[in-house]
Amino acid sequence: MSTAKEELARLIEGQPEDSSREEIVRELAFHVMVQRGIADSDAKRTISNEEMGRRIRSWRK
């Protein structure tokens, strides 16, 4: 298992040489969000599409 620093360093190294700082930061943030989502899914911390639809509709009121 790699450390967070090693994992992020690999992601940065995998970026094109002409990537801007903003593009790299965006890629790192996306990676963290995906990993968080996978962890939530594995831990059964999810809701159905129907429930999400109900929540969104309630925000409009």
CB–CB of 23/15 below 8 Å?
yes
Q: Name the pTM for this structure.
A: 0.73
Report yes or no: 28 and 12 within 8 Å, Cβ to Cβ. Answer: yes
Q: What is the pLDDT of residue 55?
A: 95
- 3 state SS of 17: coil
- Segment 2-40, tens digit of pLDDT: 899 999 999 999 999 999 999 999 999 999 999 999 999
Q: What is the DSSP string of 20-57?
A: -HHHHHHHHHHHHHHHHHHHHHHTT----HHHHHHHHH
Structure tokens at 35: 């990993």
Two tokens at 1? 């298992």
